[in-house]
Amino acid sequence: MTHADSTPFDRHRLVIAVDGTSGSGKSSTSRGVAERLGLRYLDTGAMFRAMTWWLLREGIDVRDAAAVAAAVGRPAIESGTDPRDPTITVDGVDVSVEIRSDEVNGAVSPVSAVPEVRARLLDLQRAVIGDGGIVVEGRDIGSVVWPQAEVKVYLSADPDARAQRRAAEQGGTDVASTQQSLLERDRIDSGRATAPLTMADGAVHVDSTHLTLPEVIDQIVALASTPRDTGTRDA
């Protein structure tokens, strides 16, 4: 297996960047790819959620960018990288469940838009990626966090499919309100000044609307096993 430039392909140093919209299946896909290829896994979104959870617990107004910026260096956030059992801790406490609450869901976008938050977590993310051998999911992995990633994927699905999936994950919540929430998250993430959601140069666009999870995983595993060309394209 080789890269497009014919240098040896080293899976143990490989970085697969998976970006995309909310509800498109990034987490399940990234974990599945990491398990299939024997790689580590990093959910960068969980890091932003962990920061948001900590801010809320500390009583800091998440919509006060200056207050958030002043506090970002205080919590110790650590991500586990086992795709079968990913963990996220804040000051040594596992908050994997707490960060998925409705309160955190409603607060994570303004927190994520604060440049100081992104700068702090960017350093942590790059430290975890280190020498590679990892699948990393988020919204700016291929464009900002690790633009040199050997494989870049932009995962999307149409809004209805995304809403159906997310509502099912949340125990059958209202699909229409879920779709509205997802679209609002897209609007905020795409429009923020710092590290907006975008398809990175060299990324492959994978539309998961009509694909099963195993089919999406198969596509990305195939991308990681074949030479790649530069320039964004559809799978």
Binding residues for ATP: 20-28
Structure-derived torsion over alpha carbons of residues 50, 52, 53, 59, reported in degrees to the nearest 10: 150
HSE of 202 in the Cβ direction (CA atoms, 13 Å)? 20
Q: Give the strand order in the sheet containing 40-43.
A: 40-43, 134-138, 15-20, 151-156, 204-207, 233-234
Give backbone dihedrals phi and psi of 168, rounded to 5 degrees, phi first: -65, -40
| Per-residue tokens: 55 | 């801010």
> Residues at the annotated binding site?
20-28
Host H or E run for residue 203: none
Number of neighbouring beta carbons within 10 Å of residue 225 = 12
Q: Taking the CA atoms of the chain, what radius of gyration do you get in angstroms?
A: 17
| Per-residue tokens: 193 | 């000044």
